[in-house]
A and B are shown apart, each in its own frame.
Chain A
């Protein structure tokens, strides 16, 4: 079994898959990634599959579960670098990769993560504002939704 290396890049993790993925490697990757997200506090994961020659339903499903797993750990996932032949095959196979963000290359993937992080900061700031406003008697419904803010 090969181990896929995980690189830290700012507050993101970069996973570059350069091997022919067997099922055990796929499962080990999920586990390694979950541990690294927690230990580094990473907010984003970029999975580069430009070196991957085929994605079958098992590997495709793994991208979906990594995306859900990361989200639970407060990180976003972007899959980048899918080869054209792999994309054509995935669609014909019937796998739509629902819930998985994709981008053409690592650079664009990181740009998506930066945008998501900025949106998150704005949202957090707005929530703080709402909490402050509530002291003035406005937005009574919102305060019930965010009683701890």
Chain B
């Protein structure tokens, strides 16, 4: 597989509201390093902000790992959000636009997915949730 992480990953704990801002700053600096366009940077940082808040609000707390990727000459950024929270009982339902557990607008997961190129969610009730997103240069 020609997929390589081009340099070391950054890991950040997400335990309070200020950490959501830190996640945005970290993801933005990685997106700039990958030379994503300004619109793509903004999309990825916005998705990261949504997912970091999900980690905090639904997972209680968690962490993100951010790294730069390179594949067939294209650069990208991957962010992996994970928590050890209650997990999501019905992922399909949670991915529906407008579905909300009561605290938001219900755009967090479905909206984030639209803003990135790759989106993967791995969740199990009682174990926690991991969401992986990737954005590539055009």
Task: List A residues at the B interface (Cβ < 8 Å).
Answer: 1, 20-24, 53-58, 61, 83-86, 88-89, 92-95
**Complex A-B: 21 CB contacts under 8 Å:** A22-B20, A23-B53, A24-B17, A54-B24, A54-B42, A54-B46, A54-B49, A56-B53, A57-B104, A58-B49, A58-B53, A85-B39, A85-B41, A89-B46, A92-B111, A92-B114, A92-B115, A93-B107, A93-B112, A94-B97, A95-B105
- State the CA gap A31–B17 with chains docked (Å): 18
- State the CA gap A89–B42 with chains docked (Å): 7
From B21, B42, B105, name the one whose CB has the most chain A CB atoms within 10 angstroms: B42
* Contacts A56-B50, A92-B43 given; does A22 touch B115 at CB 8 Å: no
Count B-side interface residues using an 8 Å CB cutoff.
27
Residues of B within 8 A of A1 (CB): 18
- State the CA gap A54–B111 with chains docked (Å): 14
Out of A20, A22, A94, name the residue touching B111 (CB < 8 Å): A94
Asked whether A22 lies within 8 Å of B105 as measured between CB atoms, the reply is: no
* Contacts A20-B24, A95-B105 given; does A54 touch B39 at CB 8 Å: no
| Additional 10 contacts, C-beta under 8 A, given A22-B17, A57-B50, A94-B107 | A21-B21, A22-B20, A54-B49, A56-B53, A58-B49, A84-B39, A92-B43, A93-B46, A93-B107, A94-B114
